Structure 1
Amino acid sequence: MSDLPPIDISAIPESQREAVLAVLRENKSLKQETTGLQTKTSELEVLVKRLEHLIAELKNATHGKRSEKLSEDERQLAFEDLEVAVAEVETQQVEQTPSEARPRKAARRNRGNLPAGLPRVERVVEPQSLSCPCGCGEMHRIGEDRTERLDIIPAQLRVIVTVRPKYACRSCAEGITQAPAPAHLIEGALPTEGAIAHVLVSKFSAHLPLYRQSQILARSGIDIHRSTLADWVGTAAFHL
């Protein structure tokens, strides 16, 4: 029917034109809805295939022949991928639903994970205008709503500069005095003791290999080869 020529409205009797125009508008609206549904259907098909793949991987990880060979980390990764996919589908469904028709979603918060000792940065969001709509003056503050969200600042790299001033007497030539250099775990090397501790904890506690730590540092503009990190770890291991 899409190959048919457009309808000449002028050829239709005036008494019937409004009804024909109404039919045409309804037909156009249905076509738009159909196109939208086809797009949503395609997106849902992709998500369904992804979920089916993840479920199959999860079944293989828990019940397959190789399940006894899988480590706990590998099983946890399978669960994580599935949870990520489910959250993605839920978010897509919410975003595609009109705001007025969205069901109220229970907040997934755990206040126990936000201890009172954490530093808090307050950001006060004021209305654009405090003038009363009735024109009787400025409104007064009667309360407030507070929400807390967890913020994470990436690890900060910094340079510790040790300055040792030199002093000399203007009246005699008895020499120069200067404080001795502080003792370092690796004399003459680049890292502080805090940097070495970070590398050790990341490797042995967080199971982050040295080559990955080298890549992470490179993203911050610090070029330190894996072999250099290995030297740090070996020296620290000896002292420990």
Structure 2
Amino acid sequence: MYKTAENWHFIDMRIALESLPFDPVTLQAMVRDLAGAVDEGQIEIDRLRQMIREFQRARFGRRAETLEPDQLLLTLEVDADQPPLMTPISTTIPDISGTAPIVKPPHRKTLPEHLPRTDVTILPDVTSCPSCGGVLRDAGTTASEMLDWVPASVRVVRINRPKCACRACGTLHQAPAPERITEGCLATPGLIAHVLTSRYCDHLPLYRQSQMLARHGVALARSTLADWVKAAAWWLAPLRDQLMNHVCAGERVFADDTPLPILDPGRGRTRTGRLWAYTRDDRPFGGKGPPAI
């Protein structure tokens, strides 16, 4: 078995060393045959190396450098009359260059354009070249983006209503105060909407919201937040009634009963509450009415 420099190629040339001829002419002919076989093997090695490079480019190269399937079929054409000189190559493509194959980084979506951007500039900690002491000049900027979170903040909206007096008749004019959700309520509609969303969309209890506001230096009892929710429910009742009428007017109404534990103050335990949801969605049946829950 003759072995080439590549440890994964073999040329089948079995020679009985014990019965070599002594005739120089015969020995020269055998050497010429061996040299020709080695040359043919080297040609086959070069051809397979080119195939591997094309496979690597088709698999790991950029999209513009990839090959069409027809091109690979042309590359794989082998003369049927030529005897196989090489052993079968493993389906795993070896790395000829000795370096690991290039792994494409995972595709990551760009950050949304509507988010505000804050620029942070990090200047070099040197004013002159540490190698030669030369003057440093601007050579461009490398920019990258990171996603940040700005914690929620609580602010006070101060409402100023200037007074205007008439010297002729002595009357006083002033813009009316904005209407509040309930008498004496300190919360703006935005804060009440946040409390409702946190409670019923994010399932955040009112006592936890009270604790979160306390960390911002605002002491609000859970009973105060409950009063806000009750007042908001009164304002939203007409919308709820119209929505319920729309749902019940559908040809098909879907209902769901969900039991859930509810705190039962004074008894030291919870009781079972029930949440009923009614849904209308005629789209799967060809209806044109808007869906609602």
Calculate the TM-score normalised by the size of structure 1. Answer: 0.50
- Within the candidate set 144, 156, 161, 1:147 is matched to 144
Give the AA of the match of 2:228.
W
Deviations 1:75-126 (A, max 9, x none): xxxxxxxxxxxxxxxxxxxxxxxxxxxxxxx9889444x2111111111111
Larger radius of gyration: 2
Q: Per residue, is there more strand in 1 or in 2?
A: 2
Segments ≥4 residues shifted beyond 3 Å:
106-112
What secondary structure does 1:231 align onto? helix
| C-alpha distance in structure 1 between counterparts of 2:127 and 2:142, whole Å | 17
Give the AA of the match of 2:132.
C
| C-alpha distance in structure 2 between counterparts of 1:109 and 1:206, whole Å | 30
| C-alpha distance in structure 1 between counterparts of 2:184 and 2:165, whole Å | 26
Give the AA of the match of 2:137.
H
* Cα distance, 1:223 vs structure 2: 0.8
Give the AA of the match of 1:236.
A
Deviations 1:190-223 (A, max 9, x none): 1000000000000011110001000111111111
Taking every aligned residue pair, what percent have the same amino acid on both sides?
Answer: 48
Give the AA of the match of 2:125.
Q
Alpha-carbon distance change, 130 to 109 in structure 1, aligned in 2, over 3 angstroms: farther
Match of 1:230 in 2: 226
* Cα distance, 1:166 vs structure 2: 1.1
Alpha-carbon distance change, 232 to 179 in structure 1, aligned in 2, over 3 angstroms: same
Alpha-carbon distance change, 234 to 121 in structure 1, aligned in 2, over 3 angstroms: same
* Cα distance, 1:183 vs structure 2: 1.8
Tell me if structure 1 keeps the 8 A contact 2:206–2:222.
yes
| C-alpha distance in structure 1 between counterparts of 2:211 and 2:107, whole Å | 33
| C-alpha distance in structure 1 between counterparts of 2:122 and 2:144, whole Å | 12
Match of 1:103 in 2: none
Q: Per residue, is there more helix in 1 or in 2?
A: 1
Deviations 1:165-200 (A, max 9, x none): 11213x434221111111222232110000000000
Deviations 1:116-152 (A, max 9, x none): 111111111111223234244x222223222211111
Aligned length: 132
Tell me if structure 1 keeps the 8 A contact 2:182–2:231.
yes
5+ unaligned residues in a row in structure 2: which ranges?
Answer: 1-103, 237-293
Match of 1:219 in 2: 215
Give the AA of the match of 2:140.
G
Match of 2:199 in 1: 203
Alpha-carbon distance change, 176 to 222 in structure 1, aligned in 2, over 3 angstroms: same
5+ unaligned residues in a row in structure 1: which ranges?
Answer: 1-105
